Amino acid sequence: MKPHFQKKISIPVRNHLTRDNYVLKRIDEVEPTEDRRKQITSICNEGKVYSWLFRDIFENKPYTEDKAKEFFEIGAKGWSENRMFIFLLLSSTGEVAAAIDIKSSDLDNAEIGYWASESHRGCMTNTTTELLGLARDAGYRKLLGRTKKGNKDSANVLLRAGFQFDAADSKNSEEHDFYRVDLQKNGNANKTLESMGTSSAGPDRVS
């Protein structure tokens, strides 16, 4: 079986710190304007986002606007082939604030990943929680989160969203810690920090 997502997804998300409103959309349903490519380029060159995600991949070279264009293209292709599912979080003015994705169609072991701009800190936990609800409705049963060791901000996002630390897999890896969530058992899917009465444990960050 393959996951089945609805089209025209537009999920409201609230920033837990600022109470600003955002919307979560499929990347193939977001117009890839020059402004948005520039916004993605800027975010991916922010200090902690770049350091955790892109420095090693690009060998200390900057994330370019061509890479942002490619990001849109890869995202659209992933949706069309039903094999990878990238979402963008947009501000009330349509600015890109964050991205989150499910990296495969494996209903029992797909990995999620995300990044968020420092300018929009406070949005990632609720975004991740909404993604879990979408994933469950699409047919996913379990999901995996993976963070580089020492990336406590990203780990906190996963934990607040309902993931559990996988001590065994984390112990066997020199580079990453692993987190897992059972969507059939997780009662927090679709429950934001506000609805759970939970306070933020720190800024949202990349995986």
**DSSP-derived secondary structure for 73-123:** HHHHHHHHTTS-EEEEEEETTS-EEEEEEE----TTTEEEEEEE-GGGTT-
Burial of 203 (0-12, 13-18, 19+ CB in 10 A): middle
Q: Which residues of 150-185 are buried (b: 16+ CB within 10 A; e: fewer)?
A: ebebbbbbbbbbbbeebeeeeeeeeebbbbbbebee
CA-based max dimension of the chain: 44
Residue 155 tokens, joined: 């780990």
Over 70: is that where the pLDDT of 27 sits? yes
Asked whether 124 and 157 are in contact (CB, 8 A), the reply is yes
Over 90: is that where the pLDDT of 35 sits? yes
> Between β-strands 85-91 and 164-166, what pairing exists: parallel, antiparallel or unpaired?
unpaired
Over 90: is that where the pLDDT of 67 sits? yes
Asked whether 205 and 116 are in contact (CB, 8 A), the reply is yes
Residue 188's pLDDT band, with cuts at 50, 70 and 90, is low
Fold of 11-196: Aminopeptidase (3.40.630)
Which of 144, 146, 131, 149 lies closest to 188 in space, CA to CA?
A: 131
Which of 191, 29, 205 lies closest to 116 in space, CA to CA?
A: 205
Name the β-bridge partners of 114.
100
Stretch 114-119: mean pLDDT: 96
Rg (CA), the chain: 16
Provide the pLDDT for residue 187.
57
In this prediction the pTM is 0.89
Residue 58's pLDDT band, with cuts at 50, 70 and 90, is very high
Residue 199's pLDDT band, with cuts at 50, 70 and 90, is very low
The helices-and-strands tally (H runs, E runs) of the chain is 7, 8
The C-alpha atoms of residue 64 and residue 121 are separated, in whole angstroms, by 23
Chain position carrying tokens 């975004």 = 127
